[in-house]
Amino acid sequence: MVWGIIIAVVTCVATIAGVPWLRDYLVSFQSGPNTIVIVPAPKAPSIEAQRSANNSTSPPTPSPLPPTPSPLDFGQAGVLIATIHDGTDIQLPTGHFYIYGFATGGGAASTPFMVGEYANAKNAAGQLAVSLAYGSNNQNSYTTRTGYHVVGGVCVGGRWKNIEGFYGSNSDQGASVAAASFKVTDDSLVVVIGTAASQQGISLQGIPDLQVDALNSGPAASEAMIIAHSYLRPGSYTVIQHSEALSAGQDRQHMAVLVGVFVFSSKV
């Protein structure tokens, strides 16, 4: 109660003295600890996983794309950091929500992510080759006996109403295309993470104004992975992932591809 009286008095003084930032800070303080931060913490997000696995190497025709807004139109969820590196362990800075992916190369056993496994795909030889995970944990890991492997992740902060997850995969021999169709019902941040096993080149298409946040692609890449985002208006969309082997000796039996889409609704 004493703190409430002190805050009320200082708030009045700040208003009279023309110090709006101090007034706003104190008002935020009174509404609870989660609103003190510059970007308020989100309500507990719930994943409504709508998995639309696509095992065809013939990509669908993308849906018509509505006009794309500027990120300034949203001011809610946003990508804080994204990273990809060789290895099996990853730790990200503190945020609100985390998405992870890995890709392996070669014919050896691997395990799913330790925490928050969401989707994965095996290669034509029946071995786990690519995987996605999500959760509130800022670190994750997996194990593998393959000689080449990468892990990546993205940290999302801000506010959102809910999160929906979608994915598409391809486990055919020589798989190089995967697609995921999804709907956006509110102005939203859309995060895409794509992985390709036993391949080194990767790209995405079908999403307007897609900004690449992290990329492991090219002849020198061990395994291919991409993380990107865009701000989208309501509508129907299809993201298509293309990948290819750029290094000699890649076994088509060990190829698999997986692309995941996470839609952060901006209305809170």
pLDDT > 70: what percent of the chain? Answer: 71
Q: Do 51 and 31 lie in a common domain? A: no
| Residue 223 maps to a domain | yes
pLDDT over 90 at 190, yes or no: yes
Q: What are the residues whose beta carbons fall under 8 Å from the beta carbon of 9, sequence distance 6 or more?
A: none
pLDDT over 70 at 135, yes or no: yes
Q: Do 127 and 17 lie in a common domain? A: no
Residue 11 half-sphere exposure, CB side, CA atoms within 13 Å? Answer: 13
| Residue 42 maps to a domain | no
| Residue 198 maps to a domain | yes
| Residue 40 maps to a domain | no
* Rounded Cα–Cα distance for residues 238 and 204 (Å): 10
Tell me the residue range of the domain where 26 lies: 2-35
Q: What is the rounded radius of gyration, in angstroms, for the C-alpha atoms of the chain?
A: 21
**3-state DSSP assignment of residue 79:** strand
Q: Looking at the chain, list the stretches that DSSP marks H as alpha helix, in order from N- to C-terminal side.
A: 2-16, 20-31
* Rounded Cα–Cα distance for residues 195 and 262 (Å): 15
Q: Do 70 and 10 lie in a common domain? A: no
Q: Do 138 and 12 lie in a common domain? A: no
Comparing 60 with 109, which gets the higher pLDDT? 109
Q: Do 28 and 128 lie in a common domain? A: no
Q: Do 77 and 18 lie in a common domain? A: no
Q: How many helices (H) and strands (E) does the chain have?
A: 2, 16
* Rounded Cα–Cα distance for residues 190 and 159 (Å): 13
Give pLDDT tens digits for 30-44: 222 222 222 223 333
* Rounded Cα–Cα distance for residues 33 and 88 (Å): 35
Q: Do 20 and 128 lie in a common domain? A: no
Per-residue pLDDT, averaged over 145-174, amounts to 95
| Residue 167 maps to a domain | yes
pLDDT band at residue 248 under the 50/70/90 scheme: confident
Count of structural domains, the chain = 2
Comparing 119 with 21, which gets the higher pLDDT? 119
| Residue 41 maps to a domain | no
pLDDT on residue 99: 98
| Residue 92 maps to a domain | yes
Q: What are the residues whose beta carbons fall under 8 Å from the beta carbon of 264, sequence distance 6 or more?
A: 45, 76, 77, 97, 156, 158, 160, 163, 188, 189, 190, 191
Q: Do 164 and 245 lie in a common domain? A: yes
The β-bridge partners of 181 are: 238
pLDDT on residue 72: 36
Q: Do 109 and 149 lie in a common domain? A: yes
* Rounded Cα–Cα distance for residues 238 and 62 (Å): 5
Q: Do 119 and 244 lie in a common domain? A: yes
pLDDT band at residue 268 under the 50/70/90 scheme: low
Give pLDDT tens digits for 51-81: 443 444 444 433 344 344 444 344 578 999 9
Per-residue pLDDT, averaged over 74-98, amounts to 90
Whether 149 contacts 102, CB under 8 Å: yes
pTM given for the model: 0.74
pLDDT on residue 193: 98
pLDDT on residue 46: 42
φ, ψ at 23 (rounded to 5°): -60, -45
Q: Do 20 and 116 lie in a common domain? A: no
Q: Do 61 and 20 lie in a common domain? A: no
pLDDT over 90 at 112, yes or no: yes
